[in-house]
Amino acid sequence: MGKFEPVLTRNVGVPHSTDLKVYELRGGYRGVRKALKMTPEELIDEVKDANLRGRGGAGFPAGVKWSFLPKDRTTTYLCVNADESEPPTFCNRVLMEHDPHQLVEGIIIAAYATQSQVAYIYLRGEFHEQFHVLQKAVDEAYASGYLGQGVFGSDYSLDVYLHRGAGAYVCGEETGLIESLEGKRGWPRIKPPFPAIEGLFRKPTVVNNVETLSCLPHIIERGASWFTSIGPPHSAGPKLFCISGPVNRPGCYEETMEITVRELIERDDLGGGMLPGKKVKGVLPGGASMGALTADELDMKMDFDDPRKYGLLGLGTAAAVVFDEDTDIRLVLRNLARFYGTESCGQCTQCREGTSWMYKIALRIEEGAGRLEDLDILLETARNMGMMPGLSICGLPDGATYPIETIVKKFRSELEAAIRAQPPGRAQEMLRVLN
């Protein structure tokens, strides 16, 4: 296998890569010119052929998503999900920081394919610099006639607006994002109707991730078959991977989805191996929500299908965080539980109460007052929430339970040992104080 040439990150590190001129000199805005000569239907078919699966986490094919839009619609909105709120994830940030025009080009292609008149980029509130970089790129595109009335001299017009969120995890959920964009509380909506039928301002809406859109110029320029030739069959195309934790080269790297977690950690051009003296204890390979792997499961492929075989929710954002042998697993458990306890939007009962309950239990275990039965309660609570058994409106509780469940299941012996090592009577004393 030949060495993989970066596609999405090819401009990263190039001086002034955010300038429109530099982007065009390096071959930018060619895809969109080609796309505007095609019909929207041809574009959708092309993207379907490329089997471009959404990079936001769920891996739903973008072309199929677009084809759900009703045929007789008059107004369509495109929302760009740049909320990137998954804990160890920063791929979209890299793309927006270093190559904003690639995203703008992708937006024009997607908007043209879906015949959207307006595109909103929903940025998470903490993205300050990225906002300015992106706004500058959008302004440049407007000034050059690439956005606004008659894009690239065609009949097609498109307006792009940036909207900054206030920093809530749940606003990365597509209907939560739509609500937030409408100026409301970011509560995911009940479905049906799905956004493709009734989304933003009650009009047909498509929500796509930054990385998904950034793939589009390349698919159009080089063709669907080029795209499918990269990586395994069901997980085609280049993908950004993040790696963090005690590794030598934490960062964001572009690779095919053929790599394994081990490669991501060990390879010299990727993670570069563990820091001296550190050994892998476990990995959260797909952002926090997908679940944990033990050191024995590092051969998992980072594609859309393999994670399920390891009891994980999916590929997620492909952002791995490694924790080493010295890390107390109780800390990991508590930290994850705390995040979801505070980020649950509070709409559905099971998620609102379940996540905070799990956090309380995890906190008590960390403080050395755990009970063995707490682990079973954690597992049961985890089973009693989530979208998959139909118990919630959005997928947040699924993402909240997978890490807890996999950690309790896969690291149970360690947790039990820690609980057994507590001073006798510690749990009872704590309960007495609490009640």
Q: Which residues contact 390 (CB under 8 A, 6 or more apart)?
A: none
Q: Tell me the closest approach of the beta carbon of residue 218 to other proteins, in angstroms.
A: 31
Q: Tell me the closest approach of the beta carbon of residue 378 to other proteins, in angstroms.
A: 11
Q: Is 357 in the site for other proteins (CB under 8 A)?
A: yes
Q: Is 360 in the site for other proteins (CB under 8 A)?
A: yes
Q: Is 354 in the site for other proteins (CB under 8 A)?
A: yes
Which of 173, 343, 398, 405 touches other proteins by CB under 8 A?
Answer: 343
Q: Is 348 in the site for other proteins (CB under 8 A)?
A: yes
Q: Is 364 in the site for other proteins (CB under 8 A)?
A: yes
Chain positions 54 to 93 lying near other proteins, rule: CB under 8 A, are none
Q: Is 392 in the site for other proteins (CB under 8 A)?
A: yes
Q: Is 391 in the site for other proteins (CB under 8 A)?
A: yes
Beta bridge partners of 148: 158
Q: Tell me the closest approach of the beta carbon of residue 147 to other proteins, in angstroms.
A: 35
Distance CA 399, CA 106 (A): 28
Helix ranges restricted to H, 284-367: 306-309, 329-343, 349-366
Residue 103 DSSP SS3? helix
User: If you ran DSSP here, which 8-state letter would residue 334 be given?
Assistant: H
Distance CA 284, CA 321 (A): 5
Which of 234, 384, 409, 422 touches other proteins by CB under 8 A?
Answer: 384
Torsion sign across C-alpha atoms 1, 302, 284, 11? positive
Q: Is 274 in the site for other proteins (CB under 8 A)?
A: no
Q: Tokens representing 317? A: 């954002």
Q: Tell me the closest approach of the beta carbon of residue 417 to other proteins, in angstroms.
A: 21
Q: Is 345 in the site for other proteins (CB under 8 A)?
A: yes
Between 168 and 336, whose beta carbon lies closer to other proteins? 168
Distance CA 188, CA 344 (A): 11
Torsion angle of the four alpha carbons 208, 212, 218, 224, in this order, in degrees rounded to the nearest 10:
-90
Q: Tell me the closest approach of the beta carbon of residue 402 to other proteins, in angstroms.
A: 17
Q: E strand or H helix at 162, and its extent? A: strand 159-164
Q: Tell me the closest approach of the beta carbon of residue 364 to other proteins, in angstroms.
A: 6
Tally of CB atoms within 10 A around 219: 27
Q: Tell me the closest approach of the beta carbon of residue 354 to other proteins, in angstroms.
A: 6
Q: Is 289 in the site for other proteins (CB under 8 A)?
A: no
Distance CA 178, CA 200 (A): 5
Q: Is 347 in the site for other proteins (CB under 8 A)?
A: yes
Residue 78 DSSP SS3? strand
- Range 312-325 burial, b when 16+ CB lie within 10 A, else e: bbbbbbbbbbbbbe
User: If you ran DSSP here, which 8-state letter would residue 393 be given?
Assistant: S
Between 187 and 227, whose beta carbon lies closer to other proteins? 187
Chain positions 179 to 238 lying near other proteins, rule: CB under 8 A, are 185, 190
Taking each helix axis from N to C end, the angle separating 128-143 and 100-114, rounded to the nearest 10 degrees, works out to 60
Distance CA 379, CA 407 (A): 10
Q: Are 231 and 239 in contact (CB under 8 A)?
A: yes
Chain positions 148 to 177 lying near other proteins, rule: CB under 8 A, are 168, 170
Q: Is 350 in the site for other proteins (CB under 8 A)?
A: yes
Return phi, psi of residue 385, to 5°: -145, 170
Between 155 and 373, whose beta carbon lies closer to other proteins? 373
Report how many residues bind other proteins under the rule CB under 8 A: 36
Q: Are 12 and 94 in contact (CB under 8 A)?
A: yes
Q: Is 349 in the site for other proteins (CB under 8 A)?
A: yes
Between 20 and 385, whose beta carbon lies closer to other proteins? 385
Q: Is 393 in the site for other proteins (CB under 8 A)?
A: yes
Which of 12, 22, 133, 377 touches other proteins by CB under 8 A?
Answer: 377
Nearest Cα residue to 289 out of 208, 373, 186, 387: 387
Q: Tell me the closest approach of the beta carbon of residue 377 to other proteins, in angstroms.
A: 6
Between 265 and 419, whose beta carbon lies closer to other proteins? 419
Q: Tell me the closest approach of the beta carbon of residue 122 to other proteins, in angstroms.
A: 18
Give the binding site for other proteins (CB under 8 A): 168, 170, 185, 190, 341-350, 352-357, 360-361, 363-364, 377, 384, 387-393, 431, 434-435
